Structure 1
Amino acid sequence: MKKPKNILSGIKNFFSKVHSKLPKIPPMKPETREKLDKVINFMNRFSIIFHVILACFLTFIIEFISRRDLRSTLTFMDAHTWAYLYNSLIIFVSLSIVYFFRRRALARVIISGLWLFLGIINGCILAQRVTPFGYTDLKMVTDLLTMQNTNYFTAGQALIAVIGVAAFIAFCIWLWAKGPKFQGRSNKLVVFLFVASCFIWVPLTTQAAQDKNIIASYFSNIAQGYENYGFVYGFSSSVVDRGMSKPDAYSKKKIESIEDSVKVADTSRSKEDMPNIVVVLLESFVDPTDINFLKTSSDPIPNFHELEANYSTGHMTVPVVGAGTANTEFEVLTGMGLQFFGTGEYPYKTILKETDCESIASDLSKLGYGTHVVHNNGGNFYSRANAFSMMGFDTFTSKELMNITEYTPLGSWPTDDILVDETIKSMDATPDQQDLVYTITVQGHGDYPTEKVIENPEITVSGAKDEATNNQWEYYINEIHEVDKFIGKLKDALAQRDEKTILVLWGDHLPTLGLEESDMATGDIFKTKYVTWNNFGLEKQDADLTSYQLLAHLTDQLDIHEGTMFRFHQSQQDVATDSKDYIQNFELLQYDILYGKRYCYNGDKDPYPASDLVMGIDETSIDRTWLASDGKLMIYGQHFTPWSKVFINGTKVPTTYVSGNYLKIKTDKLDDSDVLVVNQMGSSNTIFRSSNEYVYHIPADPSEETPATDTPQNETDIEDQDALMNNMDKNEVVNDIQEGTEEPVKQYPPATAKE
C-alpha cells in the first residue's frame, strides 16, 4: 500500500503537469496589478460581509430556479423572510470553510457551484414531478441512468449535463492553476475556532427557529415543506435527518406493555376458509368526480364506481402527493408510518437495504399463503427486488419477466392489461395454497402531454384553466379509463375462479397535474380512494383510513389477526389516529422492529427473515437452434421477453428479440460445444432468471437443421425452420407480435418510474 505522503506527492505532480500545459497568460501591467491587489485586499478584509451577501444571493438564485418564477420567489422572501435568512445562514456556514485554504477564490467557486448544482437538479426535478430533490434521490442514481431516452431523461439532456459538469471542472482546474492565492498571514487557531463556531450556530439556530415556528422539524407534505421553508433547509434536513431517532420512552418494559394492551383475538378463520387476497396499487389514480373543476363527457371509471357502490370503500390518506409511490406502498404493506422517518426518505433505499421487515407477506406466509408481486415496470426500481425479499415475498414478476408489447400512446409506459394474466398466473402457480398477490400498475403514470395526442378520445374533458392543461387532463382521464377496463377484466377473471377471493384496489397518490386543496372535493391533496370486491358475501363496511391502516382493516374483517403492526392497528380502530398515545405507541413499535432490539418478538431476533425471492413464475428455456438464411442463429425456446439476452460461455452477446419463442444472435463468436444461456436482465446488468444450459454444435452440413432437443409443438411437419420464420402469414397473430419477419417488433425505450 502506498504511503499517504507518496499519494499526495503524486497528486501534486499531476496538477503541476496540468499547470505547465495551461496557456500562458501575459503579465499584467503594473497599474492593473495594483488595482487588482486593492480589490483582493478589500475583499479579504471584508470577506465575512462578502460571504453574507453571496449567501443571500445564492439562496435567491436557488429559490428562483426551484420556483421558476420571480414573483413567487419574492413572495417567499416576503412571507417567509426568517426562513429565507436561515437558508442563507446554512450557505454562509458552508462558505466559512474557505478560510482553511489559501486558494480561497477556488474554494468559494466550488462551494457556490455545488449549491447551485443542487438547486439546478431540484429545478429540473420539479419540472417533472411534485416531490422536490432530497438526499435519498442520490441513492437512486442507478435508477436515473436507466431513464435515458425516455420522456423524462433524454440523451440530449444527459449530454448537456455532462458538458456542463465538465466545463465547471475545467474552470476549477484553471482557477487552481491561474487564480489568486491568499497572501496574508492567518492564525490557524483563530480560523479553526471561527469555523467551528459557525457550525455550532447551525443546530442552535435550527432549534430556535423550530421553536419559533420559523421552520418545521417534520414535513407531512415534502413539497409544501420545501415551498414554505426553502430548498437549502429542506435538502440539508434530508441529509442529516435520516432513519428513526430512538424515542425517549423506548424500553423493553414499554414495548411489553404495548403488546399487552393489544386486545385482539387470535385468527379465527380456518385455513380452508381463508380467501385469496389480491391487493392492487393503481398508479396516480384519482376519482375524477373528486376534482371540483373537471367535467367529462361520460363516466371514465364505471367499474371502479360499481365496486364503490356495492363493496367496502372509502378515502385513504397517503404520505405523498404527485410522486413517491414506494412510500405509500411501504405503509400499506408493512402497517408502518413514513412520518417517523427523515425528510424525503425512502425506506426501500435505506433501512430495508440493511434489515428484514415484517409485512403482510411474512404475516400471511405463517398461515400458509403463497405471496407474490406482479409489476409491469423494472424490478430494480426503488430497489424493489431487494425490498420484497426483505418483506418475505415468495415471487416477483417484474416487466423483465413479461412479454410486453403494448404501450401507452406516448410509448412511455406499458399498458396494464398484461397484469390480468400475470396475476392469475401467480395464483395458479400455487394450486394447493391460498395466495396474496400484490399487483402494481403503471398506465396512469405521467408525464401528461400539453399537446393533443389522442385524436378521437373515448372521454372528452373540459374545465381546466387553459388548452394545454385540458390536453393533459384529457390524456390522463383516457388512460385511467383504460385502467378502469383493466379493473373490470381482473374482477371478472377472479370471479371465474372457484376460490374465495377478496380484491382491494387503491390509488397511491394524486397525479402530477398541479392539484391544490381547493381543487379537491375532499379539501385534501393527500387523500385517494380505495375500493374492494369479494365473491363470498363479505359485509360492506365503508371507512376512511390511512394507508398504514388499510390492510389491518381488511384482514380484521376477514378474522385474520396476524402481525405486530396489523394487530396493533386493529386494536386501535376506535382511537383517533392523531391521539398522543396512538402516535407514541405506533412509533415505539416501529422503532423496535426496524432499529431497536425487537423486544416485541420476545427474544426472537429474526422471526421474519428475508425470503429467497424468485423472479417470475415461468421457466425460461432454450429448446433448439438453427442457422437462418442470413447466417444468424435462430434460438427457439419458451418465455422469452424483450429483456432476454443470450450469453455464450458466460459472456453477454447482442441479442435480437423476435417473439416470446424466438431470439436471434450473430454466429461470429460462436464455436462448437459453446454453452448458450438466456438470461432475463434487469437494470445494472442484474440477472433475474436464467434458462437451461444449451450446448451448441455446428452442424456438419449447414443446410441441415440442427437436431432439436425438444421438437416444438405444432412444428413436427415442418422440415425447414428457417422457412417457417420467413413465410409466416402476416395476418396470423402468434405470440402477440408482428409475424412474417425476423426483425424485432418496434420496442419503445423501456420506461422507468419517474418518482
Structure 2
Amino acid sequence: MKAFFNKYLHNSITLCVVLSFMINFIIEAVSRRSVLLCFDFITDSPMTFLYNTFLIFFTFSIAYLVKRRIFVYVMVSIFWLSIGITNGVILSYRTTPFTVTDLALLESVMSIIPNYLNTFQMVLVGVAALLVVLALTLVFFFMPKHKQKINYKKSVLGVLLLGLAMYGSTSLAINQNWVSTYFGNLGYAYRDYGFPYCFVNTWLNTGISSPNGYSEAAIKGIFTEEELEELNTIPVSAGGEERRPNVIMLQLESFFDPTLMEALSFSEDPVPNFRKLKENYSTGFLTVPSIGAGTANTEFEVLSGMRVRFFGPGEYPYKSVLKDKTCESIAYDLKRIGYGTHAIHNHRGAFYGRNKVFPNMGFDTFTSLEYMNNVTKTPKNWAKDRVLTDEILAALKSTVSEDLVYTISVQGHGQYPDMRLIEPKITMSGIQAESDAYAFEYYVQQIHEMDEFIGALTEALKAFDEDTVLVMYGDHLPSLNIKDSDLVNKTVYQTEYVIWDNFGLKKEDKNLYSYQLSAEVLNQIGIHDGVLTKFHQQHKEDPMYLSNLKALQYDMLYGKEYIYGGINPFATTDMKMGVKEIKVDRVVEVGKKLYIKGQNFTPFSKITIGDKVLDTIFLDPSVLGLLEEVKPEDVSKMKVSQVEKNNEILSTTE
C-alpha cells in the first residue's frame, strides 16, 4: 500500500481526484441502495457523474490553503460521506431525499427520532458520531503537516481558478442537460442529477426568483380594473342574519383511500365513512407537492394559495421566509370579514416552528398537543386523531363569531413497522414481501381509525347548531414505496379531498391542486376576498396562470408589494396558545408538599418560576404537584407553563 501510494497517490491532486471519484460512487450507491444501479447511473449519465465528482473535488481545494492537508482531506471526506449516507438512511424511511432544509429542521427531527429508531439504533448512531469526532481529533493532532512552505498567492490563485472552472462546468452541465435548475420532482432530480449537485442546490437556490419584467404595471395588470377596485375595498363582516358558515379544514396525515391500489384487496372497506362522504359531497383528486413527507408544505399551499415549487428545491417556507414575514392566507382573509381563526394540531406546537409561524399567517389561537387531555397514542407513539373532535368543537364555541378552524392530524404518520405490532381488524392481500405487508397492514389499521374519527366528527357537527363546512384531505401519500403504476389514478402526487357541509351545498366534483383548495371552498360559500383567493377563483383558466401566480408570490414575499399598494397590510397576530384558559386558583400545602390547584392543566403543564421549569407531576386537569423544594419567598412567584418535550416554554399563566 505504501509503494502504491508513493507511486500513484503521492501527488495531492491525484489523491483528491481518486477520493472524489470514490466518495461520489459510494454516495450514489447508498442513495440507490445498489452498487449495480450506481454503475447504471454512471454508464447512462457519465457526464453527470463526472460533474458531481468535480464538484466534490472542488471542495478539497481548501486543503491547499493550510498545512494540515490530511486533516482537511479526512474532514471533507467525512462530510460528504456523512450527508450521503444520511440521504440513504432517510430514503429508507421516506421518499423525499435529504436537503439542506432538513438541517434547519434538525431540532424538530431530533424530537421524533424515537418514533423511527429503537434504543439500540440510537445508541449506534451516537457511538458512530463519537468515533467520527475522535478520528478527526486524532488526525488533527497526530497526522503530519505539509512540509513545504505554502505559497499563498499561488494557492489562492489556484482555488480561484478552480472556482471559475466550477462555475463554467456548471453552466456547461446545465446547457447540455447533464443537470437542471428545475426540480419538478425532488426525488427524481436526486436520482437523475446526482446527490452532490442537488444537495448543494437546496442550499444555494432558495426563495422565488424575480420574474422577467417585474413592475407595478405588470403585477396590477394581472387583474382587471374592477377586480383591483374590489381588492382595495375593505370587506364588511356579515353579522346578524347574514352570518356566514364556519370553515373547518382538516388535513389528514398520510391519508388516502387504499383501494386505489390496484393489486390490493381487503376483508372490509378501510375507509367507509370517507367513501360515503365522497358519494354525497363535493370531491376529487388533490395534487399535493410531496410524497411520504413534507406535511408543512401541503399545509402552506392550502393556507396561502401559493405554490411551493416556485420556491427553492426542498425548501420549507415555514423555515425560511415565514419566520419573520407575514403572508396572506385564508386566515387573514377570513379575519378581515369577522371570523375567529384557530389552528389545532395533535403534535408538538414547536414542530416546523408552527408556534412562531402561525402568528405570521393570521391565527388567533393555536391548540397543540401540549394543550390537550385524554390523548391516546398509536404503537409508534403518535397521538390518535379522535382527540381532535372535542378540540374542534371547543374552538368553534370559543367565539361568538364565525370561525376558521384549521386542523392538522398526525395519527397516520410513518414510520410503519416491518413486523406485526397489533392484531389487524382488516386483513389484506396483494403484497408479496412480508415486511412490506406488515407495514401496509399497520397503516391500514391507523387510517381505519382515522376514518372512524371522520365519522364521529361529522356526526358531532350535524348536531352543532351553526352552519359549517368541513374540508378533509390527505396531505400526501404514506412512505410505503408506492409507485405511479400501483395506483388507479397513476400518480403518487394525488390524494383526495371532500367538502362536507350541514346546510345543503351543491355537489361539485373536480380535481384540484392543493394551492387551489381554499379558494374553491370559499367560492362555494360565496366568499371572494383576498388577492390569491380572487386570482384562483377567476383566473385559473388564464394562459399565464402559473407564471402570474409566481409573479404574485414574488411580489408579496420578496418584492415591493405592488399588489398591496407598496405596504404589507398584514400584521403579526397576538396569537394565544390554546382556546381553553389555563388558570391558577391557589397554592396549597399538604404534608409539606406543595400543590397548585387550577383549571385546564394537561400532562405538559409544569410549575415554573421565571424561566426555570420545576419538577412537576400532573395529577389531573385541576391539580399539579411540585416534586422539589422551593424557598418560601418564591412560592408566590410560581406559575404554570405549558412546556413541550424539548423544554421550550410555549405559554405561561398570567
TM-score, with normalisation over the residues of structure 2?
0.94
Evaluate the alpha carbon distance shift between residue 397 and residue 652 of structure 1 in structure 2; reply closer, same or farther with a 3 A threshold.
same
**Of 434, 452, 458, the match for 1:491:** 458
Q: Distance in 1 between matches of 2:627 and 2:492?
A: 54
Indicate if the aligned counterparts of 1:317 and 1:546 stay in contact, CA closer than 8 A.
Answer: yes
Q: Distance in 2 between matches of 1:39 and 1:447?
A: 45
**Counterpart in the other structure of 2:206:** 242
CA-atom RMSD, angstroms?
A: 2.2
Q: Deviations over 1:505-550 (max 9, x none)?
A: 0111000100011111111110110001112211111110111011
Indicate if the aligned counterparts of 2:416 and 2:440 stay in contact, CA closer than 8 A.
Answer: yes
Q: Distance in 1 between matches of 2:223 and 2:613?
A: 53
Evaluate the alpha carbon distance shift between residue 644 and residue 42 of structure 1 in structure 2; reply closer, same or farther with a 3 A threshold.
same
Matched position secondary structure for 1:549: helix
Is it true that 1:557 corresponds to 2:524 in the alignment?
A: yes
**Of 446, 452, 468, the match for 2:414:** 446
Evaluate the alpha carbon distance shift between residue 394 and residue 291 of structure 1 in structure 2; reply closer, same or farther with a 3 A threshold.
same
**Counterpart in the other structure of 2:395:** 426
Q: Distance in 1 between matches of 2:317 and 2:171?
A: 26
**Counterpart in the other structure of 1:691:** 653
Evaluate the alpha carbon distance shift between residue 154 and residue 182 of structure 1 in structure 2; reply closer, same or farther with a 3 A threshold.
same
Q: Deviations over 1:151-172 (max 9, x none)?
A: 2245544443343333333323
Evaluate the alpha carbon distance shift between residue 632 and residue 125 of structure 1 in structure 2; reply closer, same or farther with a 3 A threshold.
farther
**Counterpart in the other structure of 1:751:** none
Superposed displacement of residue 588, structure 1: 0.7
Matched position secondary structure for 1:259: coil
Indicate if the aligned counterparts of 1:263 and 1:571 stay in contact, CA closer than 8 A.
Answer: no
Q: Distance in 2 between matches of 1:39 and 1:229?
A: 32
Match runs of 1:209-228 below 5 Å: 209-228=173-192
Is it true that 1:138 corresponds to 2:103 in the alignment?
A: yes
Indicate if the aligned counterparts of 2:253 and 2:475 stay in contact, CA closer than 8 A.
Answer: yes
Q: Deviations over 1:391-438 (max 9, x none)?
A: 011100000111143111x1411111110000010010002x111100
Superposed displacement of residue 559, structure 1: 1.8
1:568 counterpart letter in structure 2: F
**Counterpart in the other structure of 1:321:** 291
Is it true that 1:606 corresponds to 2:543 in the alignment?
A: no
Q: Distance in 1 between matches of 2:127 and 2:172?
A: 42
Q: Distance in 1 between matches of 2:93 and 2:264?
A: 22
Matched position secondary structure for 2:497: strand
Give the ranges of 4+ consecutive aligned residues of structure 1 lying more than 6 Å apart after TM superposition.
Answer: 35-38, 264-269
**Counterpart in the other structure of 1:103:** 68
**Counterpart in the other structure of 2:322:** 352
Is it true that 1:171 corresponds to 2:135 in the alignment?
A: yes
Q: Distance in 1 between matches of 2:529 and 2:442?
A: 42
Is it true that 1:72 corresponds to 2:40 in the alignment?
A: no
Matched position secondary structure for 1:548: helix
Q: Distance in 2 between matches of 1:115 and 1:74?
A: 19
**Counterpart in the other structure of 1:638:** 599
Indicate if the aligned counterparts of 2:67 and 2:150 stay in contact, CA closer than 8 A.
Answer: no
2:501 counterpart letter in structure 1: N
Matched position secondary structure for 2:377: coil
Indicate if the aligned counterparts of 1:220 and 1:319 stay in contact, CA closer than 8 A.
Answer: no
Q: Deviations over 1:359-405 (max 9, x none)?
A: 00001100000000011001110011111110011100000111143
Matched position secondary structure for 1:447: coil
Is it true that 1:665 corresponds to 2:633 in the alignment?
A: no
Evaluate the alpha carbon distance shift between residue 208 and residue 39 of structure 1 in structure 2; reply closer, same or farther with a 3 A threshold.
closer
Indicate if the aligned counterparts of 1:374 and 1:396 stay in contact, CA closer than 8 A.
Answer: yes
Indicate if the aligned counterparts of 1:268 and 1:560 stay in contact, CA closer than 8 A.
Answer: no
Gaps of 5+ in 2: none
Indicate if the aligned counterparts of 2:237 and 2:338 stay in contact, CA closer than 8 A.
Answer: no
2:304 counterpart letter in structure 1: T
2:203 counterpart letter in structure 1: V
Match runs of 1:292-311 below 5 Å: 292-311=262-281
**Counterpart in the other structure of 2:442:** 475
Gaps of 5+ in 1: 1-34, 693-755
Match runs of 1:721-736 below 5 Å: none
Is it true that 1:51 corresponds to 2:55 in the alignment?
A: no
Match runs of 1:152-171 below 5 Å: 152-154=116-118, 156-171=120-135
Q: Distance in 2 between matches of 1:445 and 1:613?
A: 27
**Counterpart in the other structure of 1:674:** 635
Evaluate the alpha carbon distance shift between residue 90 and residue 130 of structure 1 in structure 2; reply closer, same or farther with a 3 A threshold.
same
1:369 counterpart letter in structure 2: Y
Q: Distance in 1 between matches of 2:340 and 2:533?
A: 19
**Counterpart in the other structure of 2:367:** 397
Evaluate the alpha carbon distance shift between residue 628 and residue 405 of structure 1 in structure 2; reply closer, same or farther with a 3 A threshold.
farther
**Counterpart in the other structure of 1:736:** none
Evaluate the alpha carbon distance shift between residue 263 and residue 98 of structure 1 in structure 2; reply closer, same or farther with a 3 A threshold.
same
Matched position secondary structure for 2:495: strand
Matched position secondary structure for 1:356: coil
Superposed displacement of residue 262, structure 1: 8.0
Matched position secondary structure for 2:472: strand
Is it true that 1:198 corresponds to 2:162 in the alignment?
A: yes
**Counterpart in the other structure of 2:472:** 505
Q: Distance in 2 between matches of 1:214 and 1:635?
A: 65
Q: Distance in 1 between matches of 2:163 and 2:49?
A: 18
Q: Deviations over 1:178-208 (max 9, x none)?
A: 3222223554333222211222222322232
Q: Distance in 1 between matches of 2:417 and 2:590?
A: 43
Indicate if the aligned counterparts of 1:242 and 1:345 stay in contact, CA closer than 8 A.
Answer: yes
**Of 476, 482, 490, the match for 1:515:** 482
Evaluate the alpha carbon distance shift between residue 655 and residue 507 of structure 1 in structure 2; reply closer, same or farther with a 3 A threshold.
same
Indicate if the aligned counterparts of 2:65 and 2:150 stay in contact, CA closer than 8 A.
Answer: no
Give the count of matched residue pairs: 647
| Percent of aligned pairs sharing the same letter | 40
Indicate if the aligned counterparts of 1:380 and 1:683 stay in contact, CA closer than 8 A.
Answer: no
Q: Distance in 2 between matches of 1:323 and 1:571?
A: 31
Superposed displacement of residue 71, structure 1: 2.6
Q: Which 10-residue stretch deviates more, 255-264 or 288-297?
A: 255-264
Q: Distance in 2 between matches of 1:167 and 1:601?
A: 55
Q: Distance in 1 between matches of 2:635 and 2:265?
A: 63
Match runs of 1:522-533 below 5 Å: 522-533=489-500
Q: Deviations over 1:655-695 (max 9, x none)?
A: 11222222222253352661221111135433223235xxx
Match runs of 1:515-594 below 5 Å: 515-575=482-542, 579=543, 581-594=544-557
1:322 counterpart letter in structure 2: G
Q: Distance in 2 between matches of 1:51 and 1:667?
A: 58
Superposed displacement of residue 485, structure 1: 0.9
Q: Distance in 2 between matches of 1:137 and 1:379?
A: 18
Superposed displacement of residue 41, structure 1: 8.4
TM-score, with normalisation over the residues of structure 1?
0.82
**Counterpart in the other structure of 2:146:** 182
Q: Distance in 1 between matches of 2:337 and 2:501?
A: 20
1:125 counterpart letter in structure 2: I
Is it true that 1:595 corresponds to 2:563 in the alignment?
A: no
Indicate if the aligned counterparts of 2:237 and 2:336 stay in contact, CA closer than 8 A.
Answer: no
Matched position secondary structure for 2:454: helix
2:561 counterpart letter in structure 1: R
**Counterpart in the other structure of 1:720:** none
Q: Which 10-residue stretch deviates more, 327-336 or 193-202?
A: 193-202
Q: Which 10-residue stretch deviates more, 363-372 or 171-180?
A: 171-180
Superposed displacement of residue 42, structure 1: 6.0
2:622 counterpart letter in structure 1: N
Q: Distance in 1 between matches of 2:279 and 2:3?
A: 79
**Counterpart in the other structure of 1:368:** 338
Evaluate the alpha carbon distance shift between residue 155 and residue 645 of structure 1 in structure 2; reply closer, same or farther with a 3 A threshold.
farther
Which has more helix, going by share of residues? Answer: 2
